[in-house]
Amino acid sequence: MRNDWGVDAIPGREMSLWCAAAAERATATLECSMVAAVMGDRLATLIEGYAGLLASASSGSAATSAYLLEAAATGLLVSPGEFHVLDEPEGLRRRSLVRSGCLLLAAVRRGRMDLVSEAAVRRVQSYQHQCGGFFDMDPGQGHGLVEAFTTAWAGRVALRMSWHERARQAAQLLAEMFFMQPDPEGRFYFAYDTMSSALVTRWRGREPQARYLDFGGPAGETHHIAMPASFLAEMHLAEPAAGWDRPLAGYVQVMSRWAGALLDLPAMGTVAEALSLSRWALGREGPEVGRLLARSLRAVVGAVEPSGEFPEWECGLGADYPRGFSSLEATGWTALSLLSLAQSLPRP
């Protein structure tokens, strides 16, 4: 399906149907790959499909989803409640928060409460710092936008698991992160001072915990800015009187400012999802958001067709970077984004 959309055209019901169909096709591909990994006892490959497990639980085969969930619980759940392969590198273990959140939601969506480990629930909750953010690593040492992504993703998990207070704390931190941006050139900046247990506002170039991401650069983490927007849109839809629309509008402005970098990235599912959810939540037709959404949807269509698979890509960080996104991981996240996108667009 290729529509000749105009610059300001926002596809509605047809695009919703197409997104749902594309997500199902991508999920079917993921299920085949993950079943093959389990049958071949390649847990290290299966673990790259944690987002695919959630996609399978959301739109895939009930029988296949149950089989994959049981394999994950048997082979990947490591005491005290983290999902990872015992001998995997430290760099992969650092993604335990996102991985555990995906598997937790997958089990709940399929009604497999027997697979929802109490230790896994406590582990996901334990990643929330007293400041409200969810951090895989020491919040003073990690990359600012990666930490924004984990906070927003875990916030969405908290909201869907009815951990409303934890979700509000995460959303409040993301709001503070936006309103404390001090760089006049528009670079998105974030630092967390572990000594004072608070966000800091001054750029301190010689200290490693003070990080920013230049939106004009090629770094693939740029697309992480979409996740805070998606989370804040969900918060605003859940609590329309709580004022989450102000930081949401701010993050949409950042995405607009970074459009050149964002629209060149292959992970367009998360960007299109964020723009669509934001447009739905804010309830206005902002022409710039409309143009960005139309362009991002065209990019998603071009990336998905014809096979439903997404190519491996190295995040724009160069060949020396230790790992990019595998095709399994990239397809899983994009399938999830397409599912959410289908729900946020006008219904047939």
* Residue 198: strand pairing partners: 193
**Alpha helical stretches, state H, the chain:** 13-39, 43-46, 50-59, 62-75, 90-93, 96-109, 118-126, 144-160, 164-179, 226-238, 245-257, 259-262, 268-282, 287-304, 327-344
Place of tokens 């060149």: 264
Confidence grade of residue 323 (pLDDT, cut at 50, 70, 90): very low
Q: How far is CA 228 from the centre of its chain?
A: 9
pLDDT greater at residue 171 or residue 323: 171
pLDDT at site 4 = 40
pLDDT at site 321 = 37
Confidence grade of residue 8 (pLDDT, cut at 50, 70, 90): very low
Region 10-36 average pLDDT? 83
Query: pLDDT for 201-210, tens place per residue?
Result: 545 555 544 4
| pLDDT higher than 60, residue 184 | no
Region 265-274 average pLDDT? 76
pLDDT greater at residue 89 or residue 230: 230
pLDDT greater at residue 184 or residue 293: 293
pLDDT at site 209 = 46
| pLDDT higher than 70, residue 42 | yes
pLDDT greater at residue 69 or residue 167: 167
| pLDDT higher than 70, residue 67 | yes
| pLDDT higher than 60, residue 7 | no
Least confident of 153-157, 242-246, 248-252, 310-314: 310-314
Region 167-179 average pLDDT? 90
| pLDDT higher than 50, residue 213 | yes
Confidence grade of residue 224 (pLDDT, cut at 50, 70, 90): confident
Task: Tell me the C-alpha distance between 177 and 175, whole Å.
Answer: 5
Query: pLDDT for 278-321, tens place per residue?
Result: 888 887 655 567 778 878 877 777 666 555 555 554 433 333 33
Region 230-252 average pLDDT? 94
Region 112-126 average pLDDT? 84
88 by Cβ neighbours in 10 Å (0-12 / 13-18 / 19+) ranks as: middle
pLDDT at site 157 = 94
Q: Is 232 left (phi over 0), alpha (psi -120 to 50) or beta?
A: alpha
- What single-letter amino acid sits at 91? G
pLDDT at site 3 = 41
- What single-letter amino acid sits at 105? L
Q: Coil, strand or helix: which one is 210?
A: coil
pLDDT at site 47 = 79
Query: pLDDT for 140-150, tens place per residue?
Result: 555 566 678 88
pLDDT at site 91 = 65
pLDDT at site 153 = 93
Region 230-243 average pLDDT? 96
Least confident of 68-72, 93-97, 307-311: 307-311
In the DSSP assignment, the letter for residue 346 is: P
In the DSSP assignment, the letter for residue 113 is: G
User: Over the chain, what is the mean pLDDT?
Assistant: 76
Query: pLDDT for 46-66, tens place per residue?
Result: 877 888 999 999 989 999 999
Task: Tell me the C-alpha distance between 20 and 46, whole Å.
Answer: 24
